[in-house]
Structure 1
Amino acid sequence: MITTDRLLLRPHTIEDMDAHYALSAEPEVYRFLAGRPSTQEETWLRLLRFVGHWSSFDYGLFAVVDRSTGKLIGDTGLAHFCRELGPDFDPYPETAWIFSASVHGKGMAFEAASAAHDWFETKTGKREAVAIINPDNAASLRLAGKLGYEAFGSATYKEHDVTTLRRTP
């Protein structure tokens, strides 16, 4: 677990299903992901993937909890998603984040993602990582820039255009 001034970051559990399903139904959350809310099955499989990362690699995406409310407000971390985007992307850990619209613009995404990156680098010794972001998602592109990511190309992932980014040592 990681504690910041306002947040608690912890591995996901199966008990996060309802909160994660509600998060995935927020238009500001799914708008740049699939363009539609996740089904319960998709949410369940994503949650199992998050839990499985921790079991297999001893790291993955963290559930991000607002310490003042105890509410799950998003997730962030680094993982291996096997997206088949090529040798410039696939071998590297990939960062990801989603956050509830209720905390957009409050610096919580940067607080959580910075803490997750610091933890990951200390644990693994790795700084280099990659990300994919919808090119229209200006807020996520700004956050990636603050975390040290730079665009290096573009790709199509699940029929959506994405910008590929890299954070180098």
Structure 2
Amino acid sequence: MKVDIGMKGQDREAVGQILNAVLADQHILYVKTRNYHWNVVGPQFKSLHELFEEQYTQLADSIDTVAERARALGVHANGTMAEFVRDARLKEEEGRGLDSATMVGNLVHDHESVVKQLRADIERCDDQLGDAGTADILTGILEDHDKMAWMLRSFLNEKSV
């Protein structure tokens, strides 16, 4: 059935590309956070293990929101690891043998990278593509990433940030 929500098909497709890139970034960050949750060691093990779990759970919810928004626009939501790796603006990395401070620093960097990219995505959705709904969803996700980065930064001292 044709989607008739006041947006041109080409604009919906462009928003869909943005959403699929966000979806890919969210998956890369989800997998990295889950990996760190499983493999963190050291004196802050319990608190980081729990924080990583909170964050990957929050990312899972965000992933669902983004995919459902793509579908609401009549756009295919990517769902394979190959698509996520291909479309992600974040990069996977080897997670073996990392100390907890490196894990936290890597996640802070990724969350901050997502925030920067989301700012551009929000502006494009709202100003160029006329999709305030997606811009609003992405704004909420940006706020979540801001908070997750802050929570992680609190584990690091000022010199390492």
What TM-score, normalized by structure 2, do the two folds share?
A: 0.32
The structure with more strand, counted as a fraction of residues: 1
What TM-score, normalized by structure 1, do the two folds share?
A: 0.31
Max radius of gyration: which structure?
2
Structure of higher RCO (CA pairs closer than 8 Å, 6+ residues apart): 2
